[in-house]
Structure 1
């Protein structure tokens, strides 16, 4: 199994290693923003941002549990402070990335301010989840620059962005439907694609991503793809 993962360009996570081993991003995930994972396998990663409300959390977690699939959740620090139970539920079954503390545009920040945002979010997520977050960072608004990516890399994080955003968070009030959410996800299918969704809605409280998730997963399988856990792309350091 390990040989197959290595051959596909995947590295195993830290499970089963000594307690002192810590997961870190491999070199293939550093030096640039990651919009597709470095693999030739027909697999995609499901990811969810959490920055507003938690209306869709229970539905999303239940569907992933029913399918026995892993996803990665990217809460902000403010979300973790306001909704610790939701972050704890996410982290109990899935990996947790870092989506900044207050969701600012990082290209408007100094290196010092960027570090403050990342570290403050890390503390909040740890306190809420009571578990070790992953060394994955997702930029607010997907607004990245070479300098900001270098800054988060120096802090030990890979910049995990996305191949497509389903735009489900926009809600029906801004022209989105379940059908359009599914279409956007499926149109992006390719080896290593990263699908970005949200557990809340910024408009009318309708969480289209949660409603669309079963159909997205069905379509992924129908196209001959599987769902991969981002934790498989980590290496360990002693």
Structure 2
């Protein structure tokens, strides 16, 4: 009898925990829980936009999409915009029902690993929750305008040699030309972002053309790597609030500009970065200039000697980057276009 009573007590405790919601529900074997998007996001519309972003990646994955028109079509799928809409926490991820769509999918299940920082922590398994991080000794190196067929592979070798990772904001037309290099960027543990199709000034082309630039580049990156890029870095840093709302991706700017494109001088590149970089900074460089790539080993060694850990943008931002916001550093963000 004691064993039976004890089993009943344990069962009641588990049921109580499940009824409270949170990570226990998400990972309990054989347990599903219905939640609203308002609960998942604490009624934050930017978090909901981030869930939509993750949903597009999952739709493409489940549909095994490869063709360019399929990648374009994913942006036409109607995804939740209201906090009262419901989803289901399952042992495998967040399950969402879909309206009729091009892919003929009735539902998708987004792995919890793709929702880190997007969903309120208590609704995620412990392994996928964000924790407080100290960014005073973290720096994110970023490289724009690639991939370059010679210089990007050289830079990747440098990053591998010194056991560090960086974030590459790539131009779509170059990704289409050199897809193997974009795959190598990700294979090395680095991160890929969207830097437009052919580097126009978004402020001068209008919202519709900006969306086209971003979508076309997302398509090129997906076709090259099987992954939609999370971030957009607008050329010249220029983007309007309307464009930010329309593209529905976090915008990443920078807090340290190496001005390597102006100097084209390895020593000046090194000095400029070392003079201005502090913990929590996002450093802007380019992997299309030989002088910049040549400067990277010294910059990495000197930053590491100062005790800095060189990380991806996602690590620096602790996976909390949300659409509608632009990020200049670890704790410096504001509404896109402002």
> For the structure 1 residues 39 and 78, does the alpha-carbon distance in structure 2 shift closer, same or farther, using more than 3 Å as the test?
farther
Normalised by the length of structure 2, the TM-score is 0.53
From 123, 128, 138, the equivalent of 1:43 is: 138
What's the RMSD between the two structures over aligned residues? 2.8
What secondary structure sits across from 1:97 in the alignment?
Answer: strand
Please give the alpha-carbon distance, in whole angstroms, between the structure 1 residues aligned to 2:208 and 2:134.
34
Q: For residue 235 of structure 1, report the CA deviation from its aligned partner.
A: 4.8
Please give the alpha-carbon distance, in whole angstroms, between the structure 1 residues aligned to 2:222 and 2:169.
13
Summarize the alignment of residues 99-110 of structure 1 with structure 2, pairs less than 5 Å apart.
99-110=195-206
Please give the alpha-carbon distance, in whole angstroms, between the structure 1 residues aligned to 2:116 and 2:144.
21
Would you say the 8 A contact 1:23–1:134 is kept in 2?
A: no
Where in structure 2 are there 5+ consecutive unaligned residues? 1-53, 55-91, 94-108, 120-132, 323-338
> For the structure 1 residues 153 and 67, does the alpha-carbon distance in structure 2 shift closer, same or farther, using more than 3 Å as the test?
farther
Would you say the 8 A contact 1:166–1:209 is kept in 2?
A: no
Would you say the 8 A contact 1:92–1:129 is kept in 2?
A: no
From 114, 129, 151, the equivalent of 2:243 is: 151
* Residue equivalent to 2:163: 68
Please give the alpha-carbon distance, in whole angstroms, between the structure 1 residues aligned to 2:321 and 2:196.
24
> For the structure 1 residues 68 and 133, does the alpha-carbon distance in structure 2 shift closer, same or farther, using more than 3 Å as the test?
farther
Please give the alpha-carbon distance, in whole angstroms, between the structure 1 residues aligned to 2:138 and 2:191.
17
Q: Show structure 1 runs of 4+ deviating over 6 A.
A: none
Normalised by the length of structure 1, the TM-score is 0.74
- The structure, 1 or 2, with the larger RCO (C-alpha pairs under 8 Å, 6+ apart) is 1
Would you say the 8 A contact 2:147–2:175 is kept in 1?
A: no
- Residues 62-117 of structure 1: per-residue CA shift (max 9 Å, x gap): 11111111111111111111111211211222111000112110001222211111
From 199, 204, 208, the equivalent of 2:287 is: 199
Would you say the 8 A contact 1:137–1:152 is kept in 2?
A: no
Would you say the 8 A contact 1:24–1:135 is kept in 2?
A: no
Would you say the 8 A contact 1:164–1:188 is kept in 2?
A: yes
Where in structure 1 are there 5+ consecutive unaligned residues? 1-13, 28-37, 202-206
Please give the alpha-carbon distance, in whole angstroms, between the structure 1 residues aligned to 2:282 and 2:321.
22
Q: Please, which moves more after superposition, 74-83 or 222-231?
A: 222-231
Summarize the alignment of residues 161-180 of structure 1 with structure 2, pairs less than 5 Å apart.
161-170=253-262, 175-180=263-268
Please give the alpha-carbon distance, in whole angstroms, between the structure 2 residues aligned to 1:129 and 1:123.
10
Please give the alpha-carbon distance, in whole angstroms, between the structure 1 residues aligned to 2:216 and 2:166.
23
Would you say the 8 A contact 2:147–2:170 is kept in 1?
A: no
Summarize the alignment of residues 1-238 of structure 1 with structure 2, pairs less than 5 Å apart.
18=93, 20-21=110-111, 22-23=114-115, 40-51=135-146, 53-93=148-188, 94-130=190-226, 132-145=227-240, 147=241, 150-170=242-262, 175-201=263-289, 207-232=290-315, 233-235=318-320
What secondary structure sits across from 1:104 in the alignment?
Answer: coil
